Chains A and B, each alone.
Chain A
Amino acid sequence: AQSVTQLGSHVSVSEGALVLLRCNYSSSVPPYLFWYVQYPNQGLQLLLKYTSAATLVKGINGFEAEFKKSETSFHLTKPSAHMSDAAEYFCAVSGDAGGTSYGKLTFGQGTILTVHP
């Protein structure tokens, strides 16, 4: 069974400050990992994904995440927050890297990011 834990349901930062959203996963097999962003009344949009290539993954809008197997973590960061980054962020784990999974995602509970001017 797989699970995802996002530490902190709410994170607040000032515009221009570092953004750090935490995600830890549990998986019995090498995972695929994803970060999605959800704006109000919209669906989820992919930010980035880890698929067992480089451990540091760069995504859209200046976000990146680092896969750390020893810590079972996949934290999302952005060096300088922008007002438009305010949204809810979801970490998700999928199947196994052996290619037998059809892509079913298990999501964390989400972290709401607030950006103050």
Chain B
Amino acid sequence: GAGVSQSPRYKVAKRGQDVALRCDPISGHVSLFWYQQALGQGPEFLTYFQNEAQLDKSGLPSDRFFAERPEGSVSTLKIQRTQQEDSAVYLCASSPREGGSAPLHFGNGTRLTVT
């Protein structure tokens, strides 16, 4: 596809369930980011991959959050034992190169609701 694709678009989970969110970046994009956007807030950084290497995971809020990008393309964000405070939109973004000036291309996000 032409853009960043995320699936599912909506996910409802009962508290305590595990969820997996998928991101298909633009083909050939080296950099991949995950952001969490709570209702009425700006996106907040979770983690960064350069190809398959996870170079920064400083934004992951707890050890229940885990991300991977094993072949340097598709990425999965996994949340174990979901809590209500995990309810948010999870945005994936990719960029063709590493570097502060490179604009990020965002997907439409996955809206997670934990009941």
Where the two chains meet, the residues of A that have a C-beta atom closer than 8 Å to any C-beta of B are 4, 32, 34, 36, 41-46, 49, 51, 90, 92, 94-97, 99-110
Chain A contacts of B93 at CB under 8 A? 43-44
B44: CB under 8 A from chain A? Answer: yes
Q: By the criterion CB–CB under 8 Å, are B106 and A103 in contact?
A: no
Task: Given A103-B100, A105-B104, decide whether A43 and B31 contact each other with a Cβ distance below 8 A.
Answer: no
**When A and B form their complex, what is the total count of cross-chain residue pairs whose Cβ atoms lie within 8 Å?**
77
Which of B13-21, B48-56, B67-75, B77-85 interfaces with chain A?
B48-56
Q: By the criterion CB–CB under 8 Å, are A97 and B100 in contact?
A: yes
B73-115 contact mask (Cβ, 8 Å, vs A): 1 or 0 = 0000000000000000001010100111111111111000000
Given contacts A32-B100, A110-B40, 14 further A-B contacts (CB under 8 A): A43-B4, A43-B107, A43-B108, A44-B93, A90-B43, A92-B42, A99-B99, A102-B99, A103-B31, A103-B95, A103-B102, A103-B104, A105-B33, A108-B42
Q: Which B residue sits closest to A99, measured CB to CB?
A: B99
Q: Which A residue sits closest to B59, measured CB to CB?
A: A104
Chain B contacts of A32 at CB under 8 A? 100-101
Q: By the criterion CB–CB under 8 Å, are B33 and A104 in contact?
A: yes
Q: From residue B42, how far is it (CB to closest CB) to chain A in Å?
A: 3
Interface residues on B, range: 20 to 34
Chain A contacts of B99 at CB under 8 A? 99, 101-103
B62: CB under 8 A from chain A? Answer: no
Q: Which B residue sits closest to A52, measured CB to CB?
A: B101
Q: By the criterion CB–CB under 8 Å, are B100 and A45 in contact?
A: no
Q: By the criterion CB–CB under 8 Å, are B103 and A49 in contact?
A: yes
Chain A contacts of B106 at CB under 8 A? 36, 43-45
Q: From residue B99, how far is it (CB to closest CB) to chain A in Å?
A: 6
Q: By the criterion CB–CB under 8 Å, are A96 and B44 in contact?
A: no
Q: By the criterion CB–CB under 8 Å, are A105 and B45 in contact?
A: yes
Q: By the criterion CB–CB under 8 Å, are A107 and B42 in contact?
A: yes
Q: From residue B90, how far is it (CB to closest CB) to chain A in Å?
A: 11
Chain B contacts of A102 at CB under 8 A? 31, 48, 50, 55-56, 98-100
Q: Which of B44, B100, B104 contacts A99 (CB 8 A)?
A: B100
Chain A contacts of B50 at CB under 8 A? 102
Chain A contacts of B95 at CB under 8 A? 103
